Amino acid sequence: MGSSADCKEHPIKTIIKVSGTGLIDGDGRKVVLKGAGLGGHLNMENFITGFSGHESEHRAAMLSVLGPEKYKFFFDRFLDYFFTSSDAKFFASLGVNCLRVPFNYRHFEDDLNPGIYKEEGFQLLDRIVNLCAEQNLYVILDLHAVPGGQNQDWHSDSGTSKALFWKFKEFQDRMINLWVALAKHYRGNPFIAGYNPLNEPADPEHINLINFYNRVEKAIREVDPDHVLFIDGNTYAMDFSHFPSTPLSNTVYACHDYSMMGFPTGEAYLGTSTQKAKLRKSFERKVAFMREKGVPIWNGEFGPVYASAEDDKDFATTNSQRFELLREQLSIYRETDVSWSIWLYKDIGYQGMVHISPSSPYMQLISSFLVKKKALNLDFWGCSDSKVAHVYDPFLKHLKEMVPEHLRAIKYPSPLWTFERQVERVVRECLLSEYMGLEMAELFRGKSEEELDELAASFKFENCVVRDELNLILKEDARFYVEP
C-alpha cells in the first residue's frame, strides 16, 4: 500500500494528467485525490449557513436590511473568515490532498452586465488556491451555480424549480466564456488539479448537456491544453447513459454517491451483508460508464449528515451507524483507487468536518430561526417533515387527485423525484423559504459593524468545533492507495 499523505514529501511541481484509469504527476507518480468540498463559501447553501431558500434571495434580503455598506462589510468578513490559513493547515494535517471549491457565477459577472468580469471573483479564488498551495494541496474549481440553474435544486441558486440553463444558449455561452477566462488565469498552475465545468447537471433532454460539454472542453483546451477536466454525469452526477461512446481526452468522469442510509429519512445502517451489497451495487451502477471505458473515477460528493441531541435522543447511536456507513463507502472506493471529495468541509453542524460552535454569536442569533426552519422542513438536506406532515399530507392527497395517475411521474427528474418531491420543492423550498428568508434577515437589523464582525468571525477555524471521529476516519483512509 502507498500513502496519499506522501504529498508532503513530494511537493506539487507539475500539472497532473490522466493515465489509464488513474492520475499521475509530471514525474509519473500515481496521484489519488482525496479531500472535501468547500461548500457554503463561494456558493452559499441554506443548510450550510442557516438561511432558507437560495443564496441570491438571502443576499437580497440581507442587503435590504443592512444597506449597501454594512452588507458588503458583513459578507467580505464572512468570506475572509470562512477559510483561512488555519483551515488549510488543519485540512492538510489530515493527510488529504485536494480541496474542491464550489463557486457561484455571480462572483464573476452580473446578469445585468454579462461578460464584464469582476476582478474580485478571481481574487477570491486566488486567495483559496494560494492558501492551499502553501500547504501543498491541490484545488479543483467547481462551477456550482450558473444563470438559470443547471438543475432543479436550491444549490444552483436559480430561485425556481426549473433548470433554465438548458433553455437559453446565451446562458451557456456566458459560462463557456467564463471558463475560458478562468482557464487563461490558471493555465500552468500545478496546484490546480483541474476544472469541474458544471456541478450536478440535470438536463431533461440529455443532449444539451453533451453539447455543452463538447463546447466547453474545446474552448478550455484552446487556452489551457494541460489541465484535467472533471465531468459530472447527468441527473445530479448519476447518469451517464447518454454520454458519447468515446470519452473526452485527459478527462476524469465524476459521480456523486450519497446513500439515503446516511439521512434521517433512510433506513438505519447496521452493516448487514444486504446493506453492504446495496451500497456496492448503487456505486457500481453510477460508475458503470467509467468501468466500461477504462477512464478515471472521481466521486465528487458523498457523505452522511449527523444527528444532534436537539433532534435525536439516540444521536450517539445514529452517528455511530453513519460513521460505519462512511467507513464502508470508503472501503469500496479504496479497492480501485477511486478519488473522492466528501461533502463537506465546514457548516453549522449537519455534515461538516468542522462546524461553528453552538455558543458562537452567529448561532446564538439565528438559533430560534433554525428551530422554526427545521420544524417547517424548509431545507431538503438532512430534515424530515414529521412536524408538518399533518399540513402537507392532506394537501398532497388532494393535489394528486387532481392530476391523472399516468402523469404524476412524468415530470423530470422522475423517478428520482416523486410527485411529492416536486411539490415540496416548489411550495416549501421556493415559495415559503423566500418568505422565511426575509424573517431571518430581520435578525441582522440594526447590527453595528463590530457586531457584524463578531457574527462573521463565528466561522473562523479558531472559533469552530472539529468533528473528531469523522476526521479520524478520513485521516485513516487518506493514508492508503493501491500501489501500481
Q: What is the dihedral of CA 299, 301, 304, 310, to 10 degrees?
A: 170
Which residue's entry shows cell 488565469?
Answer: 185
Which is the catalytic residue, given 45, 200, 429, 434?
A: 200
Tell me: cis bond preceding 23? Omega within 30 of 0 counts: no
* DSSP labels, 54-86: -HHHHHHHHHHHHHHHHHHHHHHHHHHHHS-HH
Spatial separation of the C-alpha atoms in residues 90 and 4, rounded to whole Å: 16
301 noted as active-site residue = yes
H-type alpha helices, 83-118: 85-93
Contact between residue 137 and residue 127 where contact means Cβ atoms under 8 Å apart: no
Is 55 among the catalytic positions? Answer: no
| Residue of 55, 301, 424, 429 marked catalytic | 301
Cα–Cα distances in angstroms (integers) from residue 151 to residues 312, 321, 363, 429, in the given order: 32, 31, 30, 14
* Distance from C-alpha of 452 to C-alpha of 73, rounded to nearest angstrom: 8
* Segments of 215-338 assigned E as strands: 228-232, 251-256, 297-301
User: Which among 167, 11, 32 has a CA at the least distance from the CA of 483?
Assistant: 32
Residues carrying an active site annotation: 200, 301
